[in-house]
Structures are given as C-alpha cells and as structure tokens.
Amino acid sequence: MRMRKKKHTADRMTSLSDLFVQNGDNIPDFSEIFGNAAPLRLEIGCGKGDFVRQLSERDSGYNYIAMEKIDDVIVIAAEKYAASRGLGSLAPNGGWKRWDGETVPMGEKVLIPDGMRGNVRFMRADAADIGKIFPEGSVDSVYANFSDPWPKKGYANRRLTSPVFLAAYLRVLKPGGMFRFKTDNDVLFDYSRET
C-alpha cells in the first residue's frame, strides 16, 4: 500500500500505545495483553484497519492482532479503531482528544482503561517474523487481504502465499485453524492456488 508520509507518526503511535503490542525479544502473552483467553485471530497487513475493525465487531468472541509493517499505515488503523470505540480522535491543534473531552498533548500516552480497549491490538511487525512472535498452535485464523502481489518472478518468496509463509502459518495455527486469503490480482491468485 502506498501512502503519503504522515506528520508526527511516532508521537501518534505513542499516544495510542495502550492499543499496541510491543514485540520485543520475548513472545507476548496474548491472554495477559487482552485480559482473557479468547481465541486469537491474526490479520497480516491490516492496512487502514477497516477489515479487522468490522470483523472484531461482528465476531466479538475473539481477540484480534492487526499486523502491519509500515508505521504511517498502522497509525491510521489504530486511530480509526480508537475512534470507533469512542476513545476520542486527533485534536484539531495536535494531540489526542479523549472520550472525556480532555486533550492529551502530542506524543504523550493516552491512558486507556482496560475495559475500553476492546478486542483488537495492533502490532508493528513484518510477516516474516510470525514464527518468532506467535507460539506454535496459538492462532485460530490468519487473514491476508489484498496483499502486495510482488509480480516479478524473483520476488516470489515475498508473497504472503509463498511456501515459506504457508509453513509459518501452519506452525502458528491451531489444529483445524484457517488461513483466509483474498486478492484481486490474477497472477497472485494463480500462484497461490498452485502453491
């Protein structure tokens, strides 16, 4: 996804850091992050977050991780999700205007009570690192919607349906788990079916 550079991206991500999973050297404890042991679903390349937001509202019995590697994209997804949860919005003169009317200055963390965070968390990460982030058999479903087709033959291993990625999904999916894939690119579709 091509997107123009956003102003104050790092500060905006800091403001909503309660909605982000920090993926350091340790595998996150997702039941602790969400405060429950609901089944976990993962969207790879969440873009602006519309799919995961709508799915999380419809299927609220699950926890969702929306993964995206581009900061300027994931910050938009997190802000849209926060607004849909009634957590406020960007303030006209900078900062974050909270649900109670208070404006938190740009770059300062908005303290979001656990009960208001909902069932979606955002993770700034590369899909290639899925095996390092998610424990084996921990994910109920993996979604990859309209991902970059990487049309040149030499880039086939970067496609989210390459054998390398499919093996990673198989490892993190629970037995009987699902990989759900959508594309509007005929070449990627054919490649994916063949793979």
How far apart are the C-alpha atoms of 168 and 136, rounded to whole Å?
9
Q: Which residue has the tokens 């965070």?
A: 117
The residue from 18, 50, 129, 148 that is catalytic is 148
Q: Which amino acid is at 183?
A: T
The answer to whether the CB of 137 falls within 8 A of the CB of 175 is yes
Residue 129 bears catalytic tag: no
Tokens of 63: 């926890």
> What is the phi-psi region of residue 145: left when phi exceeds 0, alpha when psi lies from -120 to 50, beta otherwise?
beta
Catalytic sites, residue numbers: 148
